[in-house]
Amino acid sequence: MALMITEDCINCDVCVPECPNESISMGDDIYIIESALCTECVGHFETSQCVDVCPVDCIINDPDHEESESQLLEKYECLAGAVA
């Protein structure tokens, strides 16, 4: 499942450079994660890097974008192929 940032976000900016897919950007009030680009770091890292560095634990699974590990890996491969 893709991740999402909750209203608890303090706009500290630490998650943005950690995202290997560049799926995090500033929204109207808080940072947002583009679900089409979020692979939860599958294909890059063992854990979701944004979650690991978030000081307020405001990055959670997005219930509107449920994806299996294999779907996330497929998304990663498509994104990597688009870059290559």
Task: Specify the pLDDT at position 47.
Answer: 97
Question: Which 3 state secondary structure label does DSSP give 79?
Answer: helix
State how far the Cα of 47 lies from the Cα of 45, in Å rounded to an integer. 5
E-strand ranges in the chain read 3-5, 24-26, 31-33, 59-61
Task: Specify the pLDDT at position 1.
Answer: 74
pLDDT digits 0-9 by tens, 22-44: 999 999 999 999 999 999 999 99
Domain ranges of the chain: 3-83
Say yes or no to pLDDT of 48 above 70: yes
- The answer to whether 12 and 57 are in contact (CB under 8 A) is no
Q: Which fold has domain 3-83?
A: Alpha-Beta Plaits (3.30.70)
pTM for the complete prediction? 0.89
- Calculate the dihedral angle through the C-alpha atoms of 71, 74, 78, 81, rounding to the nearest 10 degrees: 160
